[in-house]
Amino acid sequence: MKKTFFCIDAHTCGNPVRLVAGGGPVLYGNNMSEKRQYFLKEYDWIRKGLMFEPRGHDMMSGSILYPPHQPENDAAVLFIETSGCLPMCGHGTIGTVTIAIQEGLIIPKKQGSLRLETPAGIVPISYTEQNKKVTSVQLTNVAAYLAAENIVVFCEGLGQLNVDVAYGGNFYAIVDQQENFLGIDNYKAEQLIHFAQIIKREVNMSMNFVHPENETIRGCSHVLFTGNVINANSTARNAVVYGEKAIDRSPCGTGTSARMAQWYTKGKLKKGDVFIHESIIGSIFKGTIAEKLILDGKPAIRPSIEGWAKVYGYNTIQIDTDDDPYALGFQVL
């Protein structure tokens, strides 16, 4: 098998986005949720080949564009990264929109706005341009909610922890600062990655997390550690661990959504507040509550997340299983 992909590379506030602009597979299904399942069954080798080494790296994240299923929408998108084929990706959406508008891959029905179909649901977009470059992207995410509070887990190297789990397009275990976790500044990146694998396993053993409206979205896949802000004007800071050993360099869009839902449910955030969320490297997303909701009997919100991305390169990537033993990628754990 020999397959060629044309990719456009960018980063959203520091975290990579590789948009597959040519060579993506034909998918079958009535919506992007069904097509995500089809991709996982038939084409997950594409994700591994493009995201893992030697063509990618541990932090690599990407997307593939498809025609919309409903005429009122502008495009459909599939999210791929080292951790899997995600229902939703915030930083990936910001990067994908930036690439697609600048490169003419999407012609919007209305200038300055888009409606994207994602596996998690419809995501409305607004964006700004200057000198033919997209300078900011704001997405109104799918409904986010606090799924569980104060799950007690034991993490070797830290001790007993209280963990919340919130959904913002993916399920996140949120580790707030507490007696046995002093904040992200007190640990090395490799320690956070190690702790995250233990916490994720323990959380998933304690409860079965399934989205109430889409049973294909299941399991806590990400861990969000909190810490003190770098800039006094910021609201909060985080480091999101995804996959086996990746830390999001951006503030993480679905993670920001999950944390906003957590704060909203606990009375720490209200509609009209601006939630300025820092990443581990200090880049920021600006979040607001677009709408207050009830989801499966629980308080929920539709978060709005704003950030930026920069296009930096073009890649023609070949996956050839005939003579390359590493065609389908690998990770060094």
Q: Which residues are catalytic?
A: 89, 252
Q: What angle do CA 37, 40, 45 make, to 5 degrees?
A: 160
Distance between CA atoms of residues 36 and 20, nearest Å? 15
Distance between CA atoms of residues 256 and 278, nearest Å? 9
Q: Give yes or no for a cis peptide into 68 (omega within 30° of 0).
A: no
* DSSP secondary structure, 28-95, as one string: -SSSHHHHHHHHHHH-HHHHHHHHSBTTS-TT-EEEEEE--SSTT--EEEEEEETTEEES--HHHHHH
In the block, residue with structure tokens 């596996």: 119
Q: Which of 103, 59, 113 is nearest to 82 (CA)?
A: 59
